[in-house]
Chain A
């Protein structure tokens, strides 16, 4: 059994766990940055910028998220290839969309047809990350926008009466205080992000779902030293347990973070902490 679990092929499922974790590690800050930009834009006093921010938040509502994932992966890919095509091959005159085909010159292919395998994989992975960041950035923007509005108006008025400029008020008063209001929403979002990682499989990444199906499938002794029956159920049970542990741990960590952040804040929980101390 120990031998079976450490075969070369089996190691790839452990690597794919790392893929999932690194996706989370990269996407979470990126999506937060997108969300912050979106929320600040939505608050902006310049009307077009505000529309842009609000539109970004509003556009992900009402539509299933997987549809977004499937859409953005192709759309982003085509956008990149299209712009590279326009820049690199200006002499090309044929239309890009010919019936059911999307044809760009070979220099504009992304990644280049001659590139090694790992470039292809890295490209696919970064497109996937970008897609996740766009979709979750909109959700985060929604949360942060609400949090910015939840900061008591009096706090901002006090800052203004001290003569702070709008920019100073935003960075020195609003932003430090909004996190405590944003955290419940953001931790919910983090949970959702964890639970969205298996969708990577739909984006064509060889993630844990892919390997669980691959390795769990029926193996005969002709192909492997360790023949076994259909173990896909067991593999997916393991994945289920993995995700359960992961979400449970996150819950505990986020609860601790919440107690840290409420310290000294003008909220009911902050007040309760002050009294207890």
Chain B
């Protein structure tokens, strides 16, 4: 079987198109590359959607945590503590079984027991908490002069937030937020190992990599392939976030701009 044929058969296997049966024996290198690559679709899907939705919620949470009213501050603080203080792995498990219980009472929760929605919700809440902490830190370190200048111009409330505080917050938080994005993508590999079933063997990249490692009893081929894909993905994220960083800092002279340093922040 030629490699193009394999790509035709398994290229979109992770989302249910193409050959139904996974290869059982005589695994070729091409098959491993194709299937693990096809699994990356899920990693990108979870990562991108959780990041986009989490970004909005994280901004709200950060502003909430910086609020002076305890009625707003306390819930935000507790939410952030809850999701940063416990392992994501346990959150996945708990989320899955919670949705299972809810499904029995309210049938509307049925789609939440599937990975595409349930795991996305957990990832969304998790990344919102981590990013909120980053944004909160940035809010705290906004130069006093910026806010005073805004006051002097007669800006207050929403216009002041939108035009002065929020852009500065993003600018300060962006290097750390880039790291958060990278590790969110890494965290997506946990999904199919934590309760959420891979329906019809439609799994993510790690799911297929461990499938091959189990079947061939040879970890030295699938895991490096997976590593290669993830390094590629990391480079793409760094590139995109670097472009946004350039745009956020476009008014600054080029020598005073902050460089994004990739710092590893590991598992959650």
| Distance in angstroms between the alpha carbons of A64 and B88 in the assembled complex | 14
Given A67-B227, A199-B89, A74-B81 contact (CB < 8 Å): no
Residues in A whose Cβ lies below 8 Å from that of B98: 233
Q: Does B109 contact A (CB under 8 A)?
A: no
- Say yes or no: B210 contacts A236, CB within 8 Å: no
Interface residues of A in 234-256 (CB under 8 A from B): 236-237, 239-240, 243-244, 247-248
Q: Is the CB of B223 within 8 A of A70?
A: yes
Q: Which residues of B contact A237 (CB under 8 A)?
A: 94
- In this complex, the interface size class of chain A, counting residues with CB under 8 Å from chain B, is 35 or more
Within 227-264 of B, Cβ neighbours of A (below 8 Å) are at: 227, 230-231, 234, 262, 264
Q: Closest CB-CB distance, A35 to chain B, in whole Å?
A: 13
- CA gap between A97 and B220 in the complex, in Å: 12
Nearest-CB residue, chain B, relative to A199: B89
Whole-angstrom distance between the Cβ of A61 and the nearest chain B Cβ? 6
Q: Inside 8 A of A202's CB, which chain B residues have their CB? A: 193
B-chain residues with CB within 8 Å of residue A124 when the two chains form the complex: none
Contact B216 A100 (CB under 8 A): yes
In the complex, what's the smallest C-beta–C-beta distance from B146 to chain A, in angstroms?
24
The residue on B at minimum CB distance from A239 is B90
Chain A CB count within 10 A is highest, among B82, B85, B88, B187, for B85
Number of B residues, CB within 8 Å of A: 44
B-side contacts of A56, CB under 8 Å:
none
Does more than half of chain A's interface fall in helix, strand or loop, or is it mixed?
helix
- B110 to chain A: closest CB distance in Å? 16
Contact A60 B264 (CB under 8 A): yes
Provide the bound-state CA to CA distance between A65 and B268, in Å: 10
Complex CA gap A195/B84 in Å reads: 9
B28-71, CB < 8 A from A: none
Assuming the contacts A61-B262, A65-B266, asked whether A236 and B94 have C-beta atoms less than 8 A apart, the reply is: yes
Interface centre among A189, A202, A236 (most CB of B within 10 A): A236
Residues of B contacting A244 with CB < 8 Å? 81-82, 85-86
A192 interface contact, C-beta 8 A: yes
Identify the interface centre among A62, A194, A236: most chain B CB within 10 Å of its CB: A62
Interface: A187 (CB within 8 A): no
Q: Flag whether B186 is at the interface (Cβ < 8 A).
A: yes
> Taking chain B's interface residues, is the majority helix, strand, or loop, or is none over half, making it mixed?
helix
A119 shortest CB reach to chain B, Å: 22
Chain B neighbourhood of A142, CB < 8 A: 264
A101 to B189, CA, bound (A): 27
Contact with A along B202-213 (1 / 0, CB 8 A): 000010011001
Residue of A nearest to B238 (CB): A62
Chain B CB within 8 A of A230 CB: yes
The reply to whether the CB of B267 lies closer than 8 angstroms to some CB of chain A is yes
- Are A97 and B267 in touch, CB under 8 angstroms? no
Q: Would you call B97 and A232 a contact (CB within 8 A)?
A: yes
B89, A139: Cβ atoms closer than 8 Å = no
Q: Give the residue name and chain of the B residue nearest to A237 (CB).
A: B94
Chain A residues near B19 (CB-CB < 8 A): none
Is residue B148 within 8 Å, beta carbon to beta carbon, of the partner chain?
A: no
CB-contact partner of B219 in A71, A198, A201, A240, under 8 A: A71
Asked if A63 and B231 make an inter-chain contact with CB atoms under 8 angstroms apart, the answer reads yes
* Contact A63 to B227, CB < 8 A, known contacts A197-B87, A233-B101, A236-B90: yes
Q: Are B217 and A74 in contact (CB under 8 A)?
A: yes
**9 nearest CB pairs, A to B:** A233-B97, A64-B186, A236-B94, A195-B87, A71-B223, A74-B219, A198-B89, A247-B85, A63-B227
